[in-house]
């Protein structure tokens, strides 16, 4: 695996390449949805429920309608009443609530007015009569008999249930030398993207609807809009704008603002713009699932895992979003990065009267890794094993097939552990740091795109222009992670042109190929393969023309630096542009290529949880060093060293940005971020009070290192795997383990607040008779 | 209670150019009717949450005579209520005479916020979490209240009778803050705790100001004041008294911290439990005193070196 073969020679790939859109964004020239202005455009605002659970008795919009400047007011009854959603079995969203609101902040009515201020004033003039209903906020309470029911079709408030069992867990526990059970709890965490959701809707005179919006997955939005509006998808066009940060959530789905922009545009004959305030972003749904995780693990005396049994309760909030898959994924990922020969997983996602939960970078892998790698460290301590050794003994290896059917090609987990140990100077630090300073280890894994029951395959289309540049379209969006650049690099590599010679167009459902979009770390691998194929098709077409003109065999031709060269006699060469023009102008050729990647030859059984969910899997390891103030409990992250097997990094600069970004998000998750809700009301709906980490909360750059273990993933385009999510998965456990190492305080509940750490320290001091 | 911020309520905006005009505008009005707008970093949010719905807003930005920093002949310092926090941070004069004020101001928000937030607004908002008030109290600051009836001076530490209230009458405007010349060999420290390492809301803030008697090597004076230690910013007089005339000792610090906790009554909220705030008061009191002491002792060393040269 780690031999010379894995270090390929590239002409474009593998070199740190700045993002193509960076100058546009840095100069403020990139046009985001909120920058769009159209003649006659109206501004929309949404009225939200002040109750966590209530029946809508009546809505009186007459005073709002009478306000000068108001052009239209709509309520849930103006829509066809068709529910939409992600998974066919959990369609429970409505564009606006019709008779029931299920969380505080749910959209009830919308206004379009000549300016934002008037729209806001009109919102206050809408009178809604509510009959307040009993509400339920905690998943365990919500499951009890007699609890308020959120959705008629889901008795016991069970929004989704999944279970899987491989091997024989009970028998394995009976054989185990050591068994322990722990309980972990995680908090709601928001995406925290800097650009709030924004859209502009237009309903033209031909009856066609167009939505411009910052969507990560424009085609998912396109389908959901058609569902909720009950019109043909062909009558809707979704155009992607620049995306100011994605991290999943509302930019992956059609949101109430999108439906309302279109319907208000239809009613008024004018374009209508909606932009969420950051307060709205923080109050509405779309967040990481808070979870309660019971984890039981049995091992041999020497720390080999024999069995794991996980029971999981996810607080889903009021609606489903992608929640059914969220809990499925949590169970599937127990199979990585450690060998777990016997595993049992039982999970419920429960409806409660809170903002709803869905996907967020790392999805549900993050919570599971926190629980598992915290517990693994406790097991190592009990068995007197080195924390690194217990991980090595259980590490998945290249070629493993996991009990649930993951076929692992490349998985340089051992090397990740070794590199992190070296970079962090682990052996000189573990157990040897001064009091209140500690180091912890954490590991995780991710997949390069999940194969879902719905649309999974990626496609690309490419067209050569007469100047030797190419137009490249896919359905995958650049959400800041660098898709535009890396897809351009792949095309440029094949065609021997420069990165800037490839024009990567934004997604437009009227023009670009159908594709699920950006999520689940799928783009580099799925869309990258499709782009490679499309470029190779054009290369074949060009080689055919060049071969005839040069009198050589097409298979001997190479594409390098805007030239087509005979590999056998490099003096024989011709400029790319000459061949393009000759083919186009004289032979009437169209140089265009198509590619696709689906990896769909075998089925996944979502009922049993068996099947190869992704083409490729990547491990990650990291060490975190912390200093804890013993008098305040405050944690300072002193250093973070991570290593990942992202296959062959196609754009090392972007990979670095992704892995560091993922680690930073996890620092926030571990120490600061928490959407605090009391009886369904968000107490901290601002970036002042919803605390994302700042630069001053980060380790110095000199102590913030990352290493790529380079492998050649056979399923990846040019050996690549994902880089955006895996790197964050081990960080939270590493921080919890480091805090334990520094203080002796073991916290199984997130976030690790100074208050809980301090009182933990005080309890220990009392026990030891120090205080 | 409103669930989301709303648009600003409708009000009449007045933009006076002089203090006399301001006094005329607020004479005979009630606090519910008229809101004095300084930097607006709190007031705008309060209005958007409809906690305040004034009929008139009097913007003080145009009143140039409220925006100044001036050295007093006696070595003290005076500044206008509309002085921005950034002006305090950037003023060499403030740095020379009362470094503590800069230390406190620099810990509030980021540049953008400090460019609009004013010291008068921080005081007159009467919030227990205000960071300028504890520092100013330990420096013995006085404030000038002006109305059509005339002007009067109050000690800042007497200004806050209860949560969210001040002793300013409804026709009075906070115009000026005056801080006396620091005693010889004195120094202060402002330590505040929040979850993140910067730009965060104060959970507890402790200001300590000490002067050092170089002969007896004891505290000639010590003053302590707290943000978020009680419903108002306050001075911990009983705690201070324990160290006056004493030398620095671990036992002394413990006793002061204990008494400061006894004088405090921090609240429990979703931001932090009262019990935890007490622990912070205990820890930060000791640290702040020690820091101020060390600086004061060092300042003596520096001064004597300069004199001998």
**What's the pLDDT score for residue B78?**
97
Residues A561 and A578: their CA atoms lie apart, in Å, by: 13
The stretch A31-36 carries a mean pLDDT of 97
Q: Which two tokens stand for residue B285?
A: 């009191």
Instruction: Choose from A632, A636, A698, A758 for mutation: most chain B CBs within 10 A.
Output: A632
Give the end of a domain, one of A563, A597, A631. A597
pLDDT, residue A455, reads 85
- Within-domain flag for A282: no
Which residue has tokens 């280890």?
A441
Query: Are A688 and B201 inside 8 Å of each other by CB?
Result: yes
Res B301: pLDDT: 67
Separation of first and last alpha carbons in chain A? 55
Is residue A470 domain-resident? yes
Confidence of residue A5 (pLDDT cuts 50, 70, 90): very low
Report the pLDDT value the prediction gives residue B111, as an integer from 0 to 100. Answer: 94
In a domain, A299, yes or no: no
Q: Is B9 on the interface with A (CB under 8 A)?
A: no
Residues A626, A512 share a domain: no
Q: Are strands A470-474 and A502-504 parallel, antiparallel or unpaired?
A: parallel
Domain extent for A635: 362-370+384-450+613-767
Please give the model's pTM, rounded to 2 decimal places.
0.96
What size, in residues, is chain A?
771
In DSSP terms, which residues pair with B152 in a beta bridge?
Answer: B145
| Nearest CA-CA partner of A204 in A228, A230, A235 | A235
Based on the fold, state whether residues A629 and A590 are members of the same structural domain.
Answer: no
- Residue A631 and residue A591 share a domain: no
pLDDT of residue B308: 45
Helix (H, G, I), strand (E, B) or coil at A423: helix
Q: Does residue A753 fall inside a structural domain?
A: yes
Domain check: are A629 and A685 in the same one?
Answer: yes
- SS3 assignment, position A470: strand
Q: Is A766 on the interface with B (CB under 8 A)?
A: no
- Asked if residue A17 belongs to a domain, the reply is yes
- Domains identified in chain A, total number: 2
pLDDT grade, residue A1 (50/70/90)? very low
Over residues A394-426, the pLDDT tens digits come to 999 999 999 999 999 999 999 999 999 999 999
Question: Which two structure tokens, joined as six digits, stand for A351?
Answer: 């409806």
Is it the case that residue A4 has pLDDT exceeding 60?
no
Q: Which residue of A has its CA nearest to B283?
A: A631
pLDDT of res. A604 = 86
Contacts of A451 (CB under 8 A, 6+ apart): A599, A600, A604, A611, A612, A613, A614
Give the model's pLDDT for residue B302. Answer: 62
Which residues of chain A are within 8 Å of residue B287 when distances are taken between CB atoms?
631
User: Average model confidence (pLDDT) for chain A?
Assistant: 96
Q: A662 and A554 in one domain?
A: no
* A362 band by pLDDT with thresholds 50, 70 and 90: very high
**Minimum-distance CB partner of A124 among B6, B195, B201:** B6
pLDDT band at B305 (very low <50, low <70, confident <90, very high): low
Please report, rounded to a whole number, the percentage of residues in chain A having pLDDT higher than 70: 99
* Mean predicted confidence (pLDDT) in A227-255: 95
Residue-wise pLDDT for A595-649, tens only, equals 999 987 777 888 999 999 999 999 999 999 999 999 999 999 999 999 999 999 9
pLDDT digit string, tens, across residues A382-393? 999 999 999 999
Most distant CA atoms of chain B, gap in Å: 66
**Residues A747, A623 within the same domain:** yes
- Interface probe for B, chosen from A353, A688, A700 (most Cβ of B below 10 Å), is A688
In a shared domain, residues A520 and A395: no
CATH number for the domain spanning A626: value is: 3.30.365.10
Residues in CB range of B232: below 8 A, 6 or more apart: B126, B128, B160, B161, B162, B163
pLDDT, one tens digit per residue, over A414-468 is 999 999 999 999 999 999 999 999 999 999 999 999 887 778 899 999 999 999 9
A41 lies in a domain?
no
Q: Cβ of A279 and B4 within 8 Å?
A: yes
Q: Indicate yes or no: CB of B4 within 8 angstroms of CB of A631.
A: no
Element (H, E) at B287: helix B274-308
Contacts of B169 (CB under 8 A, 6+ apart): B145, B147
Please report the pLDDT score of residue A2 as a whole number: 43
> Tens digit of pLDDT for each residue in B103-122?
999 999 999 999 999 999 99
The stretch A298-312 carries a mean pLDDT of: 98
Q: What is the distance of C-alpha B238 from the center of its chain? A: 20
* Alpha-carbon distances of B17 from B23, B60, B62, B176, B287, rounded to whole Å: 11, 8, 5, 16, 44
**Would residue A366 count as lying in a domain?**
yes
The per-residue pLDDT for B3 is 63
Nearest 5°: CA angle at B8, between B3 and B12?
145
Asked if residue A714 belongs to a domain, the reply is yes
Kind and range of the H or E run holding A657: helix A652-671
Domain shared by A527 and A487, yes or no = yes
Token pair 């910052």 in the structure block, residue: A214
Last residue of a domain, one of A567, A597, A627: A597
Does A702 contact B at CB distance below 8 Å? Answer: no
Q: Are residues A547 and A463 in the same domain?
A: yes
Whether residues A626 and A571 share a domain: the answer is no
The string of pLDDT tens digits covering residues A139-149 is 999 999 999 99
Q: At what angle do helices A731-743 and A754-767 cross, to 10 degrees?
A: 30
- State the pLDDT at residue A771: 58
| CB atoms near residue A66 (< 10 Å) | 10
Based on the fold, state whether residues A628 and A731 are members of the same structural domain.
yes
Name the nearest CA neighbour of A650 among A597, A717, A599, A705: A717
Q: What is the pLDDT of residue A428?
A: 97
Same domain, A443 and A473: no
Of A597, A630, A652, which residue constitutes the final position of a domain?
A: A597
Residue A109, burial from CB neighbour count under 10 angstroms (0-12, 13-18, 19+): buried
Rounded to an integer, the average pLDDT of B176-201 is 96
The label of the residue with tokens 């908002």 reads B125
């Amino acid at each position: 695996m780690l031999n010379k073969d894995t270090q390929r020679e590239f002409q474009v790939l593998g070199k740190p390449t700045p993002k193509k859109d960076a100058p546009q964004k840095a100069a403020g020239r990139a046009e985001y949805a909120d920058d769009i202005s159209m003649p006659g455009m109206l501004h929309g605002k949404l009225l939200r429920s002040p109750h966590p659970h209530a029946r809508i008795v009546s809505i009186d919009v007459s005073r709002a309608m009478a306000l000068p400047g108001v052009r239209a007011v709509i309520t849930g009854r103006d829509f066809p009443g068709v529910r939409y959603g992600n998974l066919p079995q959990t369609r429970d969203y409505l564009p606006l609530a019709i008779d029931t609101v299920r969380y505080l902040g749910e959209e009830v009515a919308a206004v379009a007015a000549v300016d934002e201020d008037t729209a806001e004033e009109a919102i206050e003039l809408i009178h809604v009569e509510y009959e307040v209903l009993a509400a339920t906020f905690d998943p365990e309470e919500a499951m009890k008999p007699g609890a308020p029911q959120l959705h008629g079709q889901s008795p016991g408030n069970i929004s989704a249930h999944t279970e899987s069992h491989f091997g024989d867990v009970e028998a394995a526990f009976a054989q185990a030398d050591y068994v322990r059970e722990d309980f972990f709890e995680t908090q709601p965490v928001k995406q925290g993207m800097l650009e709030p959701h924004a859209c502009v809707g237009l309903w033209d005179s031909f009856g066609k609807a167009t939505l411009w919006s910052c969507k990560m997955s424009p085609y998912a939005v396109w389908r959901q809009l058609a569902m909720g509006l009950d019109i043909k998808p062909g009558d809707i066009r979704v155009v992607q704008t620049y995306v100011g940060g994605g991290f999943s959530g509302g930019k992956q789905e059609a949101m109430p603002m999108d439906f309302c922009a279109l319907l208000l545009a239809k009613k008024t004959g004018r374009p209508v713009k909606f932009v969420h305030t950051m307060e709205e972003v923080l109050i509405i749904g779309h967040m990481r699932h808070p979870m309660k995780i019971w984890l039981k693990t049995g091992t041999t005396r020497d720390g080999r895992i024999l069995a794991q049994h996980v029971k999981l309760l996810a607080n889903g909030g009021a609606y489903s979003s992608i929640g059914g898959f969220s809990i499925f994924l949590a169970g599937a990922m127990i199979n990585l990065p450690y060998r777990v020969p016997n595993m049992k997983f039982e999970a419920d996602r429960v409806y409660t009267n809170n903002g709803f939960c869905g996907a967020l970078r790392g999805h549900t892998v993050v919570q599971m890794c926190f629980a598992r790698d915290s517990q693994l460290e406790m097991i190592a301590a009990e068995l007197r094993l080195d924390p690194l050794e217990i991980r090595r003994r259980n590490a998945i290896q290249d070629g493993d097939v996991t009990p649930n059917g993951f076929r692992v090609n490349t998985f340089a987990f051992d090397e990740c552990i070794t590199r992190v140990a070296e970079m962090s100077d682990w052996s000189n630090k573990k157990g040897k740091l001064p009091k209140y300073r500690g180091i912890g280890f954490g590991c995780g894994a991710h997949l390069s795109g999940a194969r879902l029951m719905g649309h999974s395959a990626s496609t690309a289309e490419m067209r050569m222009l007469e100047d030797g540049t190419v137009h490249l379209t896919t359905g995958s969006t650049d959400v800041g992670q660098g898709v535009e650049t890396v897809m351009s690099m792949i095309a440029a590599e094949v065609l021997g042109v420069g990165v800037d010679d490839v024009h990567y167009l934004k997604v437009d459902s009227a023009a670009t190929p159908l594709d699920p979009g950006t999520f689940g770390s799928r783009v580099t691998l799925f869309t990258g393969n499709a782009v490679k194929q499309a470029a190779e098709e054009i290369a074949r077409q060009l080689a055919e023309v060049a071969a005839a003109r040069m009198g050589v065999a097409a298979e001997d031709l190479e594409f390098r630096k805007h030239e087509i060269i005979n590999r056998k006699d490099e003096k024989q060469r011709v400029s790319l542009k000459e061949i393009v023009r000759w083919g186009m102008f004289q032979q009437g050729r169209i140089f265009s290529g198509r590619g696709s990647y689906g990896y769909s030859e075998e089925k996944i059984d979502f009922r049993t949880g068996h099947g190869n969910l992704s083409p490729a899997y990547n491990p990650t390891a990291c060490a975190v060093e912390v200093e804890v103030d013993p008098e305040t409990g405050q944690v300072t992250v002193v250093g973070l060293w991570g290593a990942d097997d992202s296959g062959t990094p196609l754009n090392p600069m972007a990979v670095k940005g992704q892995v560091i970004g993922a680690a930073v998000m996890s620092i926030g998750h571990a120490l600061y971020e928490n959407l605090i809700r009391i009886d369904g009301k968000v107490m901290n709906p601002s970036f002042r009070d919803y605390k994302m980490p700042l630069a001053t909360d980060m380790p110095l750059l000199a102590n913030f290192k990352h290493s790529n273990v380079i492998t050649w993933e056979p399923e990846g385009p040019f050996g690549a795997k994902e880089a955006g999510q895996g790197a964050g998965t081990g960080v939270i456990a590493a921080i919890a383990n480091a805090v334990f190492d520094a203080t002796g305080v073991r916290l199984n509940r997130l976030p690790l607040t100074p208050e809980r750490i301090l009182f933990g320290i005080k309890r220990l001091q009392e026990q030891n008779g120090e205080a | 209670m409103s669930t989301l911020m709303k648009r600003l309520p409708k009000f009449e905006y007045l933009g006076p150019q002089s203090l006399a005009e301001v006094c005329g505008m607020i004479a005979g009005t009630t606090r519910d009717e008229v809101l004095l707008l300084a930097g607006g970093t709190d007031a705008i949010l309060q209005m958007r949450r409809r906690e305040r719905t004034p009929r008139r807003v009097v913007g003080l930005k145009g009143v140039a005579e409220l925006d100044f920093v001036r050295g007093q002949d006696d070595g003290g310092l005076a500044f206008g209520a509309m002085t921005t926090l950034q002006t305090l941070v950037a003023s060499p004069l403030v740095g020379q005479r009362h470094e503590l004020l800069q230390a406190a101001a620099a810990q509030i928000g980021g540049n953008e916020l400090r460019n609009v937030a004013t010291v008068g607004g921080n005081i007159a908002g009467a919030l227990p979490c205000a960071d300028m008030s504890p520092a100013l109290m330990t420096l013995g600051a006085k404030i000038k209240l002006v109305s059509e009836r005339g002007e009067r001076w109050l000690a800042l530490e007497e200004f806050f009778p209860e949560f969210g209230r001040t002793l300013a009458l409804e026709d009075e405007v906070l115009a000026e803050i005056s801080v006396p010349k620091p005693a010889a060999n004195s120094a202060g420290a402002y330590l505040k705790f929040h979850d993140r390492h910067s730009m965060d809301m104060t959970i507890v803030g402790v200001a300590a100001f000490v002067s050092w008697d170089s002969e007896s090597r004891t505290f000639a004076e010590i003053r302590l004041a707290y943000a978020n230690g009680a419903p108002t910013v306050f001075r911990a007089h009983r705690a201070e008294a324990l160290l006056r005339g004493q030398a620095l000792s671990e036992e002394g610090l413990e006793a002061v911290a204990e008494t400061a906790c006894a004088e405090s009554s921090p609240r429990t909220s979703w931001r932090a439990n009262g019990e935890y705030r007490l622990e912070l008061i205990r820890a930060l009191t000791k640290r702040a005193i020690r820091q101020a002491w060390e600086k004061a002792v060092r300042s003596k060393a520096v001064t004597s070196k300069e004199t001998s040269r």
